[in-house]
Amino acid sequence: MMRAHKLLVLSLLLGCAGHTAHTAIRPTGPAPVVTTANATTAPPSPDSLLASLTPREKIGQLIVPWLAGSFAAFDDSSFQVAERWVDSLRVGGLIISVGSPFDIAAKLNALQERARLPLLVSADLEWGPGMRIVGATAFPQIMAVGATGEPNDAETIATAAAVEGRAVGIHVNFAPDADLNNNPLNPIINTRSFGEDPGAVARLVQAYVQGLRAHGMLATLKHFPGHGDTQTDSHLGLPVIVADYRRLDTLELVPFRAGIAAGADVVMSAHIAFPAVTGSDDPATLSAAVLTGVLRDSLHFGGLVVTDALTMGAIVAKYGAGEATVRAFLAGSDLLLMPADPDSALNAMAAALEQGRYSAARLDASVRRVLAIKLRLGLFARRTVPLDSLMAIVGTRRFQDAADDIAARSVTLARDTTGIVRAWRGRRGRLALIAYADEQNGGIGQRFAEILRQNGDSVDYFRLWPMSGTPSYDSARTVIARNPNVVFASGVRPISWRGNIALPDSLAQLIMVTDSLKPAVLISFGSPYLLNQTPTVKSYLLVWSGVRASERAAARALLGLSPITGHLPIRIPPGYSVGFGIMVRDSSPPTPVSAR
């Protein structure tokens, strides 16, 4: 035991030596302004920090580039780019993407140690920490909480995001999504929203914000003033909403008001045009009428305004990287998220200041907000995180059990006209499982099949992909033909840059033909709007997400091991209204629940 302890100490010393060697062989820039948790001096004030910055350094504090969360060596070119952002551009923050807890934390620690001022680190943790942190708790998509209707569930997901996210060095969650998904054809929001009823969504948004704030993470309301009623992916083009202010005020703005009242510190703008509100076809991100007139003046929001990603097609294609950044700032944004080229963004902002397009006072106001947030988060006292605590915090049983519980209560039976789902509960047999999802979801239906097999079902699994052709569909028909029962597992979900969210026509046809010939159930592990392509199916079960907790919940629902109690947080045209759900609590006949 002593020998193992000595080896551990030696490893840590060598690790520190390696890091020292790294910092010694490359320029580090000015010494970081670092204080410790045990410092006796008072923390600096935003104004004193502001006075120490040059105009270019102030602009740098507003720029937030994207950083991969995967491992990178100190001499890897991608890490050297990030070092230059910190050393030369003096960026104020980063948005971190997918990586393991250790990789994310170690990379952020290294960059925090280099930074003159602490970095404000953000991430998209909409459905919990597992959205970006590999091995962290993966909850179902947020619309699953709409299906339970329980504010405590929203608060639980936010709590997990805050606890596990802060453990790896993330300070800002770009969530909750406060959009009302009131357009079934929306290709990018969908299950990222809590639902479409303004009051219900407002209550869940409020609970989510409170969960984050109670555990030291900033909440972000997005996508202001509402991205739910669109049919275009703003990553690809510019969506247009023709609604006037009266409509926004009574629908889309309701959850944003609730989130602001709950204490949300950040609001993210939408790359969407609102011509009836702004009088132009400029997206909200570039509109002072929206960001200043509506958000600041009408809703009295005093926190940080962050753009949506400035790499998105709705912005860059029309204005270019540098000009888009300047226009977003002029409209009222503080943080400039993911500019296509951080150097061009900083240079364009510096040129605009020299040209008098905005004042030094306007720049100071935004930088002061950023510095005040960093001070409030305690980043001047401690900006790095301990790596030795990660395994005790990230992905622990406490939150995994909570994810399973929420997933189970969110399962929603929208249709069961011939009682197939009830008949299968408690009965074991043979079935074909035809699974479909995008290329990024290679495991769709496998956990579901595993649990069915463990409980006595014989499962014949076949996988279809977006690129599957006639031979693959012929093979699927062969699998279906040799089994008396069929389950179709669909993983259709919103994906950036795709522009659509639908089943392939070949699969929709296969589902309906099969359903007409033998007992079949269509299960959606994603978008709830599949009935518009499969209108004749007799049994339709919604589990909202493809994470392991949701696959487990779907299996237990079919096996009769868990009741089915969820209700629709959205309308499913043509005949299913908000609040509908068929309750199956035991082996008795199902009880339909109409809209509330």
Q: For residue 213, count CB atoms less than 10 angstroms from its CB and return exposed for 0-12, middle for 13-18, buried for 19 or more.
A: middle
In our burial notation (b when 16+ CB lie closer than 10 A, e otherwise), range 401-424 reads ebbbbbbbbbbbbbbbeeebbbeb
The per-residue pLDDT for 233 is 57
579-to-112, 148, 157, 593 alpha-carbon distances in Å: 47, 10, 22, 8
Name the pairing type of β-strands 172-173 and 120-123. Answer: parallel
Contact 303, 259 (CB under 8 A): no
What is the predicted pLDDT for the residue at 495?
66
Task: Give the pLDDT confidence score for residue 32 in this predicted structure.
Answer: 37
Residue 103 a catalytic site member: no
Which residues touch 521 (CB under 8 Å, ≥6 apart)?
A: 420, 421, 424, 486, 487, 488, 539, 540, 541, 558
pLDDT at 499: 54
**Residue/partner pairs of 347-354 with CB below 8 Å, 24 or more apart:** 347/322, 348/321, 348/322, 348/323, 349/59, 349/62, 349/325, 350/55, 350/56, 350/59, 352/326, 353/55, 353/59
- The DSSP code sequence of 392-423 is HHTT-HHHHHHHHHHHHHH-EEEEETT-HHHH
The whole-model pTM stands at: 0.91
Q: What is the chain's percent helix, strand, coil content, to nearest 5?
A: 45, 15, 40
Return d(Cα 234, Cα 249) in angstroms, integer: 22
The angle subtended at Cα 111 by Cα 107 and Cα 116, nearest 5°, is 165
- Per-residue DSSP letters for 284-305? GGG-HIIIIIIIIIIS---SEE
User: What pLDDT score does 236 carry?
Assistant: 53
Instruction: Report yes or no: 114 and 81 within 8 Å, Cβ to Cβ.
Output: no
CB proximity list for 114: less than 8 A, separation 6 or greater: 28, 29, 32, 83, 86, 87
CATH of 59-393, one of 2.60.120.590, 3.20.20.300, 3.30.499.10, 3.40.50.720: 3.20.20.300
Of the candidates 229, 308, 416, 457, the residue annotated as catalytic is: 308
User: Which CATH architecture does the domain made up of 407-593 adopt?
Assistant: 3-Layer(aba) Sandwich (3.40)
Distance CA 46, CA 117 (A): 12
* pLDDT of amino acid 97: 97
The CA distances from residue 577 to 149, 306, 420, 569, 574, in Å, are: 15, 35, 22, 8, 9
| Each residue's pLDDT expressed in tens, for the chain with a length of 596 residues | 444 443 333 333 334 433 333 333 333 333 333 333 444 567 899 999 999 999 999 999 999 999 999 999 999 999 999 999 999 999 999 999 999 999 999 999 999 999 999 999 999 999 999 999 999 999 999 999 999 999 999 999 999 999 999 999 999 999 999 999 998 888 789 999 999 999 999 999 999 999 999 999 999 999 999 988 876 655 556 788 888 899 999 999 999 999 999 999 999 999 888 998 898 888 999 999 999 999 999 999 999 999 999 987 667 777 888 999 999 999 999 999 999 899 999 999 999 999 999 999 999 999 999 999 999 999 999 999 999 999 999 999 999 999 999 999 999 999 999 999 999 998 899 999 999 999 888 899 999 999 999 999 999 999 999 999 999 999 999 999 999 999 999 999 876 546 568 899 999 999 999 999 999 999 999 999 999 999 999 999 999 999 999 999 999 999 999 999 999 999 998 889 999 999 998 754 445 444 33
594: three-class secondary structure by DSSP: coil
Domain spans of the chain? 59-393, 407-593
Contact criterion met (CB below 8 Å) for 98 and 67: no
CA nearest to 545, candidates 240, 128, 166: 128
